[in-house]
Chains A and B, each alone.
Chain A
Amino acid sequence: MAQDAPGAVGARLSPKLDEASLIRAVQRGDQDAFEQLVRAYDQSVLRLAVNLLRSQEDARDVFQEAFLRVFRSIDSFRFDCSFHTWLYRIVTNICLDYLRKRKVRKEEPAVVDTPEGPLDRMNDFEEEAAHANPERNLWNVQIGQRIEGALGGLTPRERMVFELRHYQGLRLRNIGEILGTSEEAAKNCLFRATQKMRAVLGDFQ
């Protein structure tokens, strides 16, 4: 059974550092503290954006926009939820905007046909699976298109819930909190997402 991805998400702060103190320092205008705070979360934020948007450029834009919003509005953070939840509300809102815009202008496929053959636009990324595997490219071309198609059939919200649960390893209760909904609604969203994908990839084994 799949478990939460250990360490996939969340603070990478040294245990000696108190996050609340760090946030208060940022609120006082301490740039060094801001940089430390960014470093604690930026890998997971970038990973979410990359996996969700499948575009290096969009992921960079989301990264910058999200942390600049944090920088501009850190004064409004009142510790009534965890910083992680607050940050992810910002990040997921920006990502959802990107996904919705894409829905309108029709999603760009991750694998595109070129005169030289199919090309995976994501080849610039390091992949968790061993990318030295010669079967990898073949997998990208043949299966990647089908999976991208299945993911493309999800609503932005379904896709977000799925990404947060499957790739980021967040609990559904936390996902509900981030997305401003209930755990039950997040569960239903995850169920719909998996059903849709299994319908598209039904014979996939």
Chain B
Amino acid sequence: MNCESVTKFIPLYFYGELPPEDEDSLEQHLDTCAACARQAESQRALSAALDRRAMQPSAALLAKCRHDLMRAVYREEAPVRRADFSPRGALAPHLGRFAAWLPSLGPWRMPLGASALLALGFITARLTAPGAAGPFSLASLTPENVISSVRSVQPAREGSRPGEVQIVLDETRRRVISGQLNDSNIQRLMLAAAHDENNPGVRWESVDLLKSHSDSSPVRELLLNRVAEDPNPGVRLKALDGLKTYTGDPEVRKVLAQVLTHDDNPGVRIAAVDALTAHAGDDMVGFLQGVVEKEDNTYVRRRCVKALQDMNASVGTF
């Protein structure tokens, strides 16, 4: 073995990747060649330095990653409420494809998607004209800030000219209002928007914006209401997120306990366990033991078990 091949083989030798016969040849060469022996020493020193650079992820980081992953998995598995929209008309096939893509986004993004679908559904209803003539745009006949839809078309009435028809339009005028979230008028509008039962996207966005003002009683009441009542799990999770700083409050804990025992979405239940156990006390032991006994979701159950263990409490009841 010559110096050139030894140079190439040194890293492989060091990592134990050389066949035994090459390893023997290389070692014989190193015994007789000072220059190559220095190279081998340099490789050893490099390796030692790199070993010191090795990082071991902390247990906390690993736990956080596991937690985030399982939440994401449960979100992916959560059923998407398809009743929120009913695509029809010429755009329906496109909406169908869009809807098929929705589950991969998960409920966190689902409300935005649902919002888009609602908007598309509305536009479909507005713009689709019967027959093969293709869509006809009412928008071209109305001002830019007015959204129109046809409520009814009436035949010519007696006394009117032949061929005359009457079309009744519903018009919604769009108005932009800007203001600070702590402005009471703005907050009132946002609170109303957060209850808009037809639009989960608007509810999600409203809750998301309002949750930074959870020190306001009406906002906190809204968050409690949404976390317990909203039909959309994404909105419920967002509202729960807004209550995190109040998990020591008895009223909040009562609602969270109700969520943990009654919510049909495991992702929301997991978030409720996390929020509740952030202020775990002895008074929670019996409650958590009851959840462990009845909960059918492995991950939620494990979160409760972990909380009980952290409190040095027994997992089962006797």
- Assess whether A1 is in contact with B56, with CB atoms less than 8 Å apart: no
- Assess whether A71 is in contact with B76, with CB atoms less than 8 Å apart: yes
- Assess whether B16 is in contact with A4, with CB atoms less than 8 Å apart: yes
Which residue of B is nearest A193, CB measured? Answer: B11
Q: How large is the interface on B (under 10, 10 to 19, 20 to 34, 35 or more residues)?
A: 35 or more
Asked if B299 is an interface residue, CB under 8 A from chain A, the answer is: yes
- Partner of A191 from B11, B50, B69 at Cβ < 8 Å: B11
Instruction: List residues 1-48 of chain A with CB under 8 A from any CB of chain B.
Output: 1-4, 31-32, 34-35, 38-39, 42-43, 46-47
Per-residue CB contact flags for chain B residues 146-183 toward chain A (1 = under 8 Å, else 0) read 00000000000000000000000000000000000000
- Assess whether A46 is in contact with B52, with CB atoms less than 8 Å apart: no
Q: In terms of DSSP, what is the predominant structure of the interface of chain B?
A: helix
- Assess whether A190 is in contact with B12, with CB atoms less than 8 Å apart: yes
Asked if B215 is an interface residue, CB under 8 A from chain A, the answer is: no
B59 surroundings in chain A (CB, below 8 A): 126
A48 → chain B closest CB, angstroms: 10
Q: How many A-B residue pairs have CB under 8 A?
A: 133
B86 surroundings in chain A (CB, below 8 A): none
- In the complex, A139→B225 CA distance in Å? 54
Which residue of B is nearest A36, CB measured? Answer: B298
Asked if B251 is an interface residue, CB under 8 A from chain A, the answer is: no
A140 → chain B closest CB, angstroms: 9
Instruction: List residues 51-72 of chain B with CB under 8 A from any CB of chain A.
Output: 51-59, 61-62, 64-66, 68-70, 72
- Assess whether B62 is in contact with A42, with CB atoms less than 8 Å apart: yes
Instruction: List residues 139-176 of chain A with CB under 8 A from any CB of chain B.
Output: 139, 143-144, 147, 165-167, 171-172
Asked if B309 is an interface residue, CB under 8 A from chain A, the answer is: no
B14 → chain A closest CB, angstroms: 6
Q: In terms of DSSP, what is the predominant structure of the interface of chain A?
A: helix
Per-residue CB contact flags for chain A residues 38-80 toward chain B (1 = under 8 Å, else 0) read 1100110011001100101001100110011001100000000
Asked if A179 is an interface residue, CB under 8 A from chain B, the answer is: no
- Assess whether A31 is in contact with B45, with CB atoms less than 8 Å apart: no
Given contacts A2-B16, A60-B61, contact A147 B43 (CB under 8 A): no
Residue contacts A-B, CB under 8 angstroms, 20 given: A1-B13, A1-B14, A31-B73, A31-B77, A31-B298, A38-B69, A39-B66, A42-B65, A47-B56, A51-B55, A68-B69, A71-B76, A122-B55, A127-B52, A128-B51, A128-B55, A147-B50, A147-B53, A166-B15, A167-B54
Binding site for B on A (CB under 8 A): 1-4, 31-32, 34-35, 38-39, 42-43, 46-47, 50-51, 54, 56, 59-60, 63-64, 67-68, 71-72, 122, 124-129, 139, 143-144, 147, 165-167, 171-172, 187, 190-191, 194-195, 197-198, 201-202, 204-205
Which residue of A is nearest B73, CB measured? Answer: A71
B77 surroundings in chain A (CB, below 8 A): 31
Given contacts A60-B61, A190-B15, contact A204 B8 (CB under 8 A): no
Given contacts A126-B56, A128-B56, A172-B17, contact A198 B299 (CB under 8 A): no
- Assess whether A35 is in contact with B298, with CB atoms less than 8 Å apart: yes
- In the complex, A3→B14 CA distance in Å? 8
A154 → chain B closest CB, angstroms: 12
Which residue of A is nearest B54, CB measured? Answer: A128
- Assess whether B15 is in contact with A47, with CB atoms less than 8 Å apart: no
- Partner of B55 from A71, A127, A194 at Cβ < 8 Å: A127
Instruction: List residues 1-47 of chain B with CB under 8 A from any CB of chain A.
Output: 8, 10-17, 41-43, 45-47
Asked if B49 is an interface residue, CB under 8 A from chain A, the answer is: yes
- Partner of B69 from A63, A139, A190 at Cβ < 8 Å: A63
- Assess whether A68 is in contact with B58, with CB atoms less than 8 Å apart: no
A204 surroundings in chain B (CB, below 8 A): 42, 45-46, 49
Closest 7 CB pairs of A and B: A194-B11, A63-B65, A128-B54, A125-B55, A32-B298, A46-B57, A126-B58
Taking A125-B56, A125-B58, A143-B49 as known contacts, 11 extra A-B pairs with beta carbons closer than 8 A to each other, sorted by chain A number, are: A2-B14, A35-B298, A46-B65, A50-B61, A59-B57, A71-B76, A72-B76, A129-B54, A144-B53, A172-B17, A204-B49
B53 surroundings in chain A (CB, below 8 A): 144, 147
Which residue of B is nearest A129, CB measured? Answer: B52
- Assess whether A56 is in contact with B14, with CB atoms less than 8 Å apart: no
B66 surroundings in chain A (CB, below 8 A): 38-39, 42
- In the complex, A195→B53 CA distance in Å? 18
Most buried by B among A32, A63, A143, A190: A63
- Assess whether B17 is in contact with A187, with CB atoms less than 8 Å apart: yes
B14 surroundings in chain A (CB, below 8 A): 1-2
- In the complex, A143→B203 CA distance in Å? 53
- Assess whether A1 is in contact with B16, with CB atoms less than 8 Å apart: yes
A114 → chain B closest CB, angstroms: 21
